[in-house]
Amino acid sequence: MEYDPGAKLSLAAHADERGPNTYNQDLSERRVQSVKDFLISRGIAEDKIDTSAYGDDKPLERAR
């Protein structure tokens, strides 16, 4: 971002199929928010970070 001020980050969080759908969605949202909060604490502007939380709808092994 230092070299390209117009750049944006895209974060995606996933969960596996264990547990109820609502739990997995909440877990994914907490995961992506934790990473976003960390990046903001390191000086990345919040408006430069896009997030997606997939829960178990799109497990990581299928996302690749």
List the helix and strand counts (H, then E) for the chain: 2, 2
Please say whether the beta carbons of 35 and 19 come within 8 A.
no
**pTM: predicted TM-score of the whole model, two decimal places:** 0.80
Which one-letter DSSP state was computed for residue 48? G
CA distances from 41 to 7, 38, 50, 59 (A): 18, 5, 16, 28
Determine the average pLDDT of the residues in 38-60: 90
Instruction: Please identify which residue in the block is written with the tokens 């430069």.
Output: 48
pLDDT of 62 above 60? no
Please tell me which residue, 63 or 9, carries the higher pLDDT value: 9
* Amino acid 16: pLDDT: 82
pLDDT score, position 39? 96
Spell out the domains of the chain, with CATH numbers in brackets: 9-63 (3.30.1330.60)
In which element (H, E) is residue 24 found?
helix 21-41
Mean pLDDT on 33-58 = 93
